[in-house]
């Protein structure tokens, strides 16, 4: 993988203070839920006692979906290829309706501890284990990228080494996720989401002010052919079209909201189906808002650099570095704001990592470890201890994989490819289970043939 060691930006004490504040707040929440909140049972540790409110659940769902990769990558996509990405907003608003009407009521009313528990009720224990392992493997491979990209951003604007930044993110995340359980994950997600939103809104505000207002930004993008919303070319070989963005995002968003173990775990942590549905509506609003903001940042980047592309001039090596470059330019007279931006990107990474590790630990325990015990169910305290150990080990595994990411690009490619394959397979299995009554024998035959 290309090294992204740039000349350090002016990252002064104020910037480091803001970043440190965000990390300390995350640690403080973990400490609070470790010592002053019950974590001595599976229900408390993994489901928050099924008493969580709409606000932390919705904020966590938004934060988990908006990774640091998205905050940096979406504006770069719009800068390079235009506003056709905004077609994704259709899926942002439609898929929550599909989930609330067709998927969520079935899973919630079964009072499941794990999403894949549905598969043993509908098909077999083997199908449940297969689903759990597919999910876990895809998360383990993809998580290092979620940590590595924000670490590159931190390196670009501050000069702090990528390895040190990644290690710091992982250490903080592992601590509060391991000892604080789901409650700590949800509330840190909520606080971190506020950091992320504050960061991107400041960038948009300063960018609009610096570039002569919204009207001027739209005019420059229109002149450059960047305002495009309805490219209806049906060819599957076209990189960007209405169909590739709409169909692709419909599938991805349906997988994330409806059959993602982390999303359903959060819904199971709520005291009623009505509150779970309300959290879904707010999630749709939050994700749509963030997408609008990141699209706006992409248009701002084009308005700033359309006449002098910093990649072409050699100032940066790839478009993914363009947003950090822009931030260092516009915040030079505002001490602390560059730190707020970095905190926002790191917060997005922390929330994605903590949610994934917490969910993986619960999924592996429910679907595999508990099966090993069979009739000898361990005590509540032992269950909590086992899950904490699993959370710690999964976090350490992610740290080791981050070290590999720095040496090779293949893990990025593997993560993206595996994510697409596994998401499609899991979505097919759940749709068969929910909507095709005779799917049981068909799925068994398919699995048997795959194993032979």
Q: Give the tokens for residue 57.
A: 């659940």
Give the mean model confidence (pLDDT) for residues 422-448: 73
Query: Could you give the percent of the chain with pLDDT greater than 70?
Result: 89
**Greater pLDDT, 157 or 305:** 305
pLDDT at 281: 94
Q: Are 55 and 191 in contact (CB under 8 A)?
A: no
> Which residues are CB-contacts of 40 (< 8 A; sequence separation ≥ 6)?
380, 381, 384
What ranges do the domains of the chain cover? Answer: 18-451
Kindly tell me if the per-residue pLDDT of 344 is higher than 60.
Answer: yes
From first CA to last CA, the distance across the chain in angstroms is 38
Lowest-confidence segment of 59-63, 261-265, 281-285, 371-375 by average pLDDT: 371-375
To the nearest 10°, the Cα dihedral for 332, 336, 338, 342?
Answer: 170
Alpha helices for 66-161 (secondary structure H): 68-81, 88-98, 104-109, 117-122, 125-158
Kindly tell me if the per-residue pLDDT of 71 is higher than 70.
Answer: yes
Residue with tokens 């201890």: 385
> Which residues are CB-contacts of 398 (< 8 A; sequence separation ≥ 6)?
140, 143, 144, 147, 170, 353, 357
What are 229-242's pLDDT values in tens digits? 877 777 777 777 78
Please count the CA atoms within 13 angstroms of the CA of 64 that sit on its side-chain side: 29
* CATH number given to 18-451: 1.20.1730.10
Mean pLDDT of the chain: 82
Kindly tell me if the per-residue pLDDT of 220 is higher than 50.
Answer: yes
Q: Give the tokens for residue 407.
A: 């040496």
Query: Could you give the percent of the chain with pLDDT greater than 90?
Result: 15
Q: Are 183 and 52 in contact (CB under 8 A)?
A: yes
Number of neighbours of residue 389 by Cβ within 10 angstroms: 12
> Which residues are CB-contacts of 425 (< 8 A; sequence separation ≥ 6)?
134
Where residue 212 falls (left for φ over 0; alpha for ψ -120 to 50; beta otherwise) is left
What are 8-43's pLDDT values in tens digits? 345 778 888 888 888 898 889 888 887 777 666 777
Distance of CA 410 to CAs 28, 141, 199, 356, 405, Å?
36, 11, 31, 21, 8
> Which residues are CB-contacts of 29 (< 8 A; sequence separation ≥ 6)?
176, 180, 184, 187, 188, 191
State the DSSP code for 368: I
What are 395-405's pLDDT values in tens digits? 888 888 877 76
pLDDT at 108: 93
Give the mean model confidence (pLDDT) for residues 269-274: 94
């Amino acid at each position: 993988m290309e090294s992204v060691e740039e000349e350090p930006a002016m990252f002064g004490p104020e910037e480091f203070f803001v970043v440190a504040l965000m990390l300390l707040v995350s640690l403080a929440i973990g400490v609070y839920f470790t010592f002053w909140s019950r974590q001595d049972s599976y229900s408390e540790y993994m489901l928050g006692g099924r008493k969580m409110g709409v606000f932390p659940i919705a904020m966590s769902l938004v934060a988990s979906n908006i990774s640091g990769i998205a905050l940096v990558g979406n504006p770069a996509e719009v800068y390079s290829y235009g506003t056709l990405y905004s077609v994704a907003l259709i899926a942002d608003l439609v898929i929550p309706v599909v989930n609330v009407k067709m998927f969520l009521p079935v899973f919630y009313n079964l009072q499941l501890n794990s999403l894949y528990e549905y598969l043993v009720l509908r098909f077999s224990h083997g199908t449940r284990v297969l689903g759990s392992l597919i999910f876990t493997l895809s998360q383990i491979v993809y998580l290092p990228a979620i940590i590595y990209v924000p670490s590159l951003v931190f390196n670009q604007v501050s000069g702090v080494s990528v390895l040190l930044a990644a290690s710091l993110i992982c250490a903080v995340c592992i601590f509060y996720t391991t000892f604080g359980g789901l409650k700590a994950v949800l509330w840190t997600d909520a606080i971190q989401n506020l950091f992320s939103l504050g960061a991107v809104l400041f960038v948009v505000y300063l960018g609009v002010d610096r570039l002569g207002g919204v009207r001027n930004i739209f005019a420059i993008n229109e002149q450059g052919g960047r305002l495009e919303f309805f490219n209806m070319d049906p060819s599957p070989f076209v990189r960007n079209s209405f169909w590739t963005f709409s169909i692709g995002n419909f599938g991805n968003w349906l997988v994330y909201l409806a059959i993602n173990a982390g999303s359903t775990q959060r819904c199971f942590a709520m005291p009623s189906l009505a509150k779970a549905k309300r959290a879904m509506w707010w999630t749709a609003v939050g994700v749509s808002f963030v997408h609008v903001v990141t699209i706006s940042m992409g248009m701002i980047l084009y308005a700033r650099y359309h006449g002098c592309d910093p990649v072409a001039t050699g100032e940066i090596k790839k478009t993914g570095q363009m947003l950090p470059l822009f931030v260092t330019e516009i915040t030079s007279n505002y001490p602390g704001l560059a730190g707020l931006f970095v905190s926002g990107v790191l917060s997005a990474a922390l929330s994605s990592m903590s949610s994934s590790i917490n969910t993986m630990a619960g999924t592996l325990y429910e679907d595999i470890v508990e099966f090993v015990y069979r009739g000898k169910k361990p005590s509540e305290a032992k269950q909590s201890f086992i899950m904490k150990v699993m959370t710690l080990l999964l976090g350490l595994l992610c740290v080791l994989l981050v070290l590999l990411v720095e040496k090779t690009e293949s893990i990025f490619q593997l993560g993206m490819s595996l994510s697409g394959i596994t998401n499609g397979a899991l979505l097919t299995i759940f749709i068969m289970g929910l909507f095709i009554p005779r799917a049981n024998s068909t799925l068994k035959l398919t699995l048997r043939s795959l194993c032979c």
